[in-house]
Homo-oligomer: A and B are copies of this chain.
């Protein structure tokens, strides 16, 4: 998918939907919203995700300017991921999702 806004018009919902494409996008953003994380750390926090998929999502979120990647020239290599400013502003959405999601889970359990 491309980044061009023109293809999605000015609809904030369609645009956000595109950013949230993929099974893990929302959870990854949430995990990064709690602080900077290393690659391996993220993988542990996302039970079931593979290296390939995690990398793919992180690359896409980088393109989308939601995630920042910082590489340290060390041995062994260290790479840290964090949210950009735009990513941090997503906090408001995350909070709403968290509350709604918990209520929704309760509903499904009934």
Contact = CB atoms under 8 A, between A and B. Distances in A.
Interface of A: 3, 5, 10-17, 19-20, 23-27, 30, 65, 86, 89-90, 92-105, 107-109
Q: Find the residue from A3, A20, A24 having the highest chain B CB count within 10 A.
A: A20
A5 B93 contact: no
B65 A89 contact: no
Given A5-B108, A5-B109, A14-B27, A96 B96 contact: yes
A23 B17 CA distance: 7
**Number of chain copies forming the complex:** 2
Determine the main DSSP class of A at the interface with B.
helix
A86 to B, nearest CB: 5
Nearest to A86: B107
Given A16-B97, A16-B100, A96-B92, A105 B5 contact: yes
